[in-house]
Amino acid sequence: MGTIDSIDERKIIWIALSDMYLDTELQEYHFKHIARTIAESNYSFEEVRKIDREEVFPVLYTNLLSVAGVWDGFQEEWLVQAILEKMGKKRFKDRIITPLVYWKMKGMFRQHWDKVGEELHKIVS
C-alpha cells in the first residue's frame, strides 16, 4: 500500500465495498457489482475481505448503526479521503475497539459475503 497504483487499484475495491454499508437492504445487483469488481481486480476474494475489514469497515460501519444513515451511496471523493486519513493514523480505537466491533458485527456481513462469493464463482467459472 502507498503507491499511486495500489491506491488507484484499492480505490475501486473501496467504492464497490461501500455498498455493503448502505442503510438499505442490498439487492442482487449490489452483490453482482461487488463480485464483478473483485473479478476484474488483482485481488483475491480473501484479500478483498481483509481490505474490507481493515480499511472500509473502520470508516463506514457507523452508517449501519445510524437511525438515518446514507442509503443512496457514499460520495467517492469523501470515501477515499476518509479511508486514507484513517489508514494514516492508527489510534487505540482503530487498533483495539474497531476489530472488536467488526467481530461483533460479522454476522451481519456473513450473508453478504456468501452472496458475493456465489456471484464471484459464477463469473470465474
> Each residue of 42-60: pLDDT tens digit?
999 999 999 999 999 999 9
Q: Would you say residue 88 has pLDDT above 90?
A: no
All structural domains of the chain with their residue ranges: 4-124
More confident residue, 57 or 90: 57
pLDDT confidence of residue 3: 54
The CA-atom distances, in angstroms, between 41 and each of 13, 55, 123 are 8, 17, 13
pLDDT confidence of residue 4: 54
More confident residue, 10 or 104: 10
Could you count the other beta carbons within 10 Å of the beta carbon of residue 88? 7
